[in-house]
Structure 1
Amino acid sequence: MEEVILKKIFLGLSVILTGILLAACGSVDNLSNDTNSSGSSKGKTQLTGQTNTGYYQGVIKNGRYQTSKSRGVSVQQESNQFNIKGFENGLLNISKKQFSTKKYVFQEGQYLSTKRVEAWLGRKSKSNPTGLNPVKSKSTSATKRNPIYLSQIDEQDYMTRSGKSLSLQGMTIGLAINSVDYYKKTQYGPTYQTDLTNSQINSEGKKIANQVLSRLRNNKKLKNIPIVIALYKQASDDSLVGGNFFAYSTNNSGTTSVNKWNKINQKNYVFPLQSNQKGPSQNDADSFDNFKSQVQTFFPNLSGVTAQAQYTNGSLTGMNVNITTQFYSQTEIISFTQYIQSAAQRYLPANAPIDITVQSTEGIQSFLTRKANEKKFSAHIFNSY
């Protein structure tokens, strides 16, 4: 018998998002002593400060960063960390289209509690009338059963400052839709799967989005703010890349149903491409192959050189390169990182943000990064003392 289990994904993964928001924070800004736009706390409210206009400032209350009330709640599936990272980071990028980092302050979701999100992610039933996933069917056939469509919900709140006060002025909701639903026919039996078509993912995701928007508007604090809803197609558990967002909608004050969707044309690839696989740009694939060849020729003690590349509307919008080494001495790591810095500048695709992580079984050894439209890579070597 199929069983849907709700879990909290290991919270350490959420450090990725928190790090983006709080990395290298500057001075902390003080607000009024009794400000709390989403609660009744009378503690002191502060902002994290902002060192880069590409990042949002975060909210600190009572000396602690405001964590989400429902972070990590998900329908149990086989773990794919790439899905989690892509979902959170991609949702931030969509939010920036509506809520400028120069004007708005980011606050982790405070309106959807763990209990509510668990109920919404469950199947609809007599005991769970608010479930957004379909009722459980009697059939256990992969093609005849009712699959689980909605897998994750993420809430982001956006505030503005007026004097020394913060007020809620917008919200973004991310809905992660399965491309594959994994299930068991008996409690301890083997795992089966139902593959979902793009048409199912699109139609069911948009239907769920309408229900979510209508429910949010029932909260008087959320009636008159813009609410962005974004749809994410999760990759399968065995995928070497994460999923991708395929649509989003900006819903103005008071609207209770989505009347317009904006299409997002994103696709992820793993480099080097397999022999029978075609990418959107052969030049990018060749550039990475040349980079990999040069690196492995000069430094043979490498376990692997791979990359995850994301394309939007056919253009490269980001690449994460992972290099696994068998280096042990600090001098080897320094020499290798310096060579990577020059080789990446020479061979890897230009005009796209690229991160390069060099690591061994003992952890990260060095990190290189280049923003879009920059020529040189900056590098940091992790010293072991």
Structure 2
Amino acid sequence: MKKILTAALVATAVLLAACGNLNFNSGTSGTTGSSSTSKYTTTGTSDSGTYEGVIKDGRYQTSSARGLQLTQNQQDGNAFNIKSMEAGLQEISKKQFATSKYVFEEGQLLSTATTKKWLAHRSSSDQDGLNPKSNSSTDPNKRVPTYLQTILEQDYMTQSGSSMSLGGVSIALGMNEYDYYEKQQYGATYTTHITDAAMTQQGRRMAKEVVARVRKMKGVSQDTPIVIALYKLAARDSLVGGTYFDYVVSTSGDSLQSWKPVNQQNEVLPTVDNKKPINQTVSDDFNNFQSNVENFFPTLAGVTAQAHYEDNQLAGLNVTINTQFYGLTEIQSFTQYVSSMASKYLPSGVKIQITVQATSGPQAFLARDSGQKDFTTHVFDSY
């Protein structure tokens, strides 16, 4: 059942990431470390709350280290962590880098080789490892676990006339709550649980070291703002991504300002194993919506949602409805009904996205931004 839900929710995330209208703004400029003859454009933005992206010589600038994790054993886990890290880091970055003044670029400072070294355990052969030196123990309660699992970098560029330069850097440190390991290759998997206190202590230590290292990189000045955010990775069998819990800003040299806590929570609705929901009212509202939708087409495979909370308040809801293949007119009628039930039962005032999909692919999409009353709907035709 979890595999079915995971596939459905991943498809929703991919679909939502692909939506948006892009307007192109052209110009010729040079970023730090790039040829002054390179041509840069920006993607434009579909609304004032999102960043424009950097395009160099007609190509979007990707990050070679995106999604890199320490071990394949961990990588086989939660598919939502990286997407959740990316979206959450942008939201934290907006507090420091206004969307009206900065342009977004995938991380260009950290290469794959550098990231691999940083993710390793410190040793005589790798002095760059951010994880503490291993003690070679295989006891779950005695071994030195892998605290840092993945690193994500985002760059924020500034434009001045015909030039573009690095205006700021944001880096997320993906910290393990559960460190999975094998005592022998291809053997059984064991788990070391890492407490919040230990995770925070190690994350803050690493943040200070990361800032010092980034300051020495080409193109980064002593007063380039650097944001370091700590992200707790969700367990690999979780149906939602992890959450941020701490971040700090460095505006000069290696010094850090005061750490700022982040209060985030994620959950899947309906809850499983009689787990108490984060917010009973939200859970009841979704259950009413689910019941009415499933009664419309009794053969639905399921209706699930990912709920995201900020400071104990619902901030967004991603709903996935899995169907069998139906005819176009049936899907049109079903989509209209889903829109009506969503307006009636789902919480008002928050961003909601609903994907209707079959095994053959998405069949319909509904969305409502926070503050809006009506849903925008689209039914995917077969041609």
- What is the TM-score of this pair, normalised by structure 1? 0.91
Matched, 1:205 2:200: no
Q: Any unmatched runs of 5+ in structure 1?
A: 1-12
Q: State the shift of 1:258 in Å.
A: 2.5
What's the CA shift string for 1:113-153, capped at 9, x where partnerless? 11100110111111111011122222100111111111111
What's the CA shift string for 1:163-187, capped at 9, x where partnerless? 1111111111111101111111111
- Tell me the residue number matched to 2:348: 350
SS of the equivalent of 1:293 reads helix
Identity among equivalent positions (%) equals: 48
SS of the equivalent of 2:301 reads strand
SS of the equivalent of 1:131 reads coil
- Tell me the residue number matched to 1:5: none
Matched, 1:29 2:25: yes
Q: State the shift of 1:198 in Å.
A: 1.2
- What is the TM-score of this pair, normalised by structure 2? 0.92
1:40 to 26, 35, 38: 35
SS of the equivalent of 1:221 reads coil
Change (3 A) 1:266 1:57: same
Q: Which amino acid aligns with 1:149?
A: Y
- Tell me the residue number matched to 1:60: 55
Change (3 A) 1:235 1:316: same
Q: Which amino acid aligns with 2:22?
A: C
- Tell me the residue number matched to 1:267: 265
- Tell me the residue number matched to 2:133: 135
1:281 to 279, 282, 288: 279
RMSD, aligned CA? 2.0
Contact kept? 1:20, 1:55, Cα under 8 Å? no
C-alpha distance in 2, partners of 1:166/1:103? 12
Q: Which amino acid aligns with 2:58?
A: G
What's the CA shift string for 1:310-344, capped at 9, x where partnerless? 11111001111111111331122111111001100
- Tell me the residue number matched to 1:366: 364
Contact kept? 1:21, 1:57, Cα under 8 Å? no
C-alpha distance in 2, partners of 1:197/1:41? 49
C-alpha distance in 2, partners of 1:301/1:20? 28
What's the CA shift string for 1:324-368, capped at 9, x where partnerless? 111331122111111001100000011111111111111111111
Change (3 A) 1:102 1:368: same
Contact kept? 2:176, 2:199, Cα under 8 Å? yes
Q: Which amino acid aligns with 2:328?
A: Q
- Tell me the residue number matched to 1:311: 309
Contact kept? 2:33, 2:218, Cα under 8 Å? no
Q: Which amino acid aligns with 2:69?
A: S
Matched, 1:146 2:141: no
What's the CA shift string for 1:186-219, capped at 9, x where partnerless? 1121111111111111111111111111111122
SS of the equivalent of 2:303 reads strand
Number of residue pairs aligned between Structure 1 and Structure 2: 369
Q: Any unmatched runs of 5+ in structure 2?
A: 1-9
What's the CA shift string for 1:199-255, capped at 9, x where partnerless? 11111111111111111112253222111111100010011111100011121132x
C-alpha distance in 1, partners of 2:204/2:25? 39
Contact kept? 1:21, 1:58, Cα under 8 Å? no
SS of the equivalent of 1:365 reads strand
Q: Which amino acid aligns with 2:233?
A: Q
Change (3 A) 1:325 1:284: same
Contact kept? 1:21, 1:56, Cα under 8 Å? no
